[in-house]
Structure 1
Amino acid sequence: MPVRLLQVVRFGLVGVVNTGTFYGCYLLLHRWMPYYPAYVVAFVLSMIGSFFLNTYFTYRTRPTWRKFLFFPLTNLTNFTVTSVGMYVLVEWCGVGEKPAPLIAAAAAIPVTFLLSRRILLTREQPAPDREPALTPATRDAG
């Protein structure tokens, strides 16, 4: 199976696990706090879990603070694409209000996948004041 296809499959599995984690945390926290704080805490916890699952399992790369700080952009993108998609489906395409969120969420998966891949597979650039890493190409060139 090609690497990118394998990543898509693993990305989908992480999404399922992440959704279950979010909902489980929400239900557990809602026992001790009002629904909205429970939602926010569960959302943040599931986003952190999603970061580590996607880093280690989906893309098989190491986590960095830079990746961690940029990773919430994937959730913002997902929310934006899903929200716009839902509006377009209901208002312009006449799709019912009940299936529209599921269709819009499915449409957001490729965009979210590509963005998370871009963020989590970014190569670390050497600091300007340091020598670049010694690789076979640079060793042979010198």
Structure 2
Amino acid sequence: MRSSTLGEFIRFVIVGIVNTGIYYGVYTFLVYTGLFYIAAHFGGFITAFIISYFLNCHFVYHVRPTLRKFLKFPLTQVINMGLQTLLLYLLVDCLGWSEILAPLPVLIITVPITYSITRWVLKDKKG
């Protein structure tokens, strides 16, 4: 992996950690204000998702945000969620792994794939 790509990947992981904190902060705030937990989940997810888009554009890939890229960005999360769910199912239900430990290799597998898809969606073809 080239050093510029490695730097992008590290920044991508940092943004993921920040987004997790944003999601959880918004979620817990909304729950404590009396909002139903499912509604709080959606509020936290949407907030973190929008912030993730801008952080990925500016901090990770150094690209200008556009409406077209913003509309394509959900594709990255759909693929990520689908792949994570499939791998988790295979490890737990088919291979008998612990449901507590199975998410760890799933993340190791899916984070680089999600990084690549996000990079493809947000960067120009030449980038």
Distance 1:103 1:56 in 2: 29
Written as runs of structure 1 = structure 2, the 5 A alignment for 1:16-31 is 16-31=17-32
- Residue in structure 2 matched with residue 6 of structure 1 by the alignment: 7
- Residue in structure 1 matched with residue 110 of structure 2 by the alignment: 108
Superposed CA offset, 1:33-70 (max 9, x none): 10000000110110001000000000011100000001
Distance 1:118 1:100 in 2: 28
Greater relative contact order (Cα < 8 A, sep 6+)? 2
What is the alpha-carbon root mean square deviation over aligned residues?
A: 1.2
The residue type paired with residue 85 of structure 1 is L
Q: CA deviation at 1:93?
A: 2.3
Q: CA deviation at 1:27?
A: 0.3
Q: CA deviation at 1:91?
A: 2.1
Q: CA deviation at 1:94?
A: 2.1
Stretches of structure 2 that go unaligned for 5 or more consecutive residues are none
Written as runs of structure 1 = structure 2, the 5 A alignment for 1:1-142 is 2-32=3-33, 33-122=35-124
Distance 1:114 1:71 in 2: 12
Distance 2:108 2:28 in 1: 24
**Structure in which a larger fraction of residues adopt helix:** 2
TM-score computed with the length of structure 1 as normaliser: 0.82
Distance 1:102 1:29 in 2: 28
The residue type paired with residue 18 of structure 1 is N
SS in 1 for 2:88: helix
Q: How many residues align?
A: 123
Distance 1:99 1:24 in 2: 25
Distance 1:51 1:98 in 2: 29
Q: Post-superposition, which runs of at least 4 consecutive aligned residues in structure 1 deviate over 3 A?
A: none
Superposed CA offset, 1:76-118 (max 9, x none): 1110011001011112222101111232123210111011000
Mean Cα deviation higher: 50-59 or 90-99 = 90-99
